[in-house]
Amino acid sequence: MKAKITITPKKAVLDPQGKAVQNALEHMGYAGVSGVHVGRYLEIEIDGEREAVEKQIDEACHKLLSNPVIEEYRFELE
């Protein structure tokens, strides 16, 4: 099955990319943009039992795919 993982910077962490995108958007004349956050997105093709996979992905997210010091993650399985 396919795991779709999104990893976003914690609110406390300064997110220069988000700022840059926000400025660029305003520059291009997009009104009403109040906040932008830039993170990472991963798709992992993996097979196995749903529970097992769920456990594995969660562990992988915690250990490797995200850095708990600066990031949060969430994922869904399809």
Q: How far apart are CA 73 and CA 67, in angstroms?
A: 9
Q: Which of 11, 14, 16, 31 binds its own copies (CB under 8 A)?
A: 31
- Tell me which of other proteins, its own copies, none is bound by residue 50, counting a contact when its beta carbon lies within the kind-specific cut-off of 5 to 8 angstroms: none
User: 51 CB contacts (<8 Å, ≥6 apart)?
Assistant: none
Does residue 19 belong to the site contacting its own copies (CB under 8 A)?
no
Site string for other proteins, 8-47 (x = CB under 8 A): -x--xxxxxx-xxx-xx--xx---------x-x-------
Nearest C-alpha neighbor of 7 from the set 52, 69, 55: 69
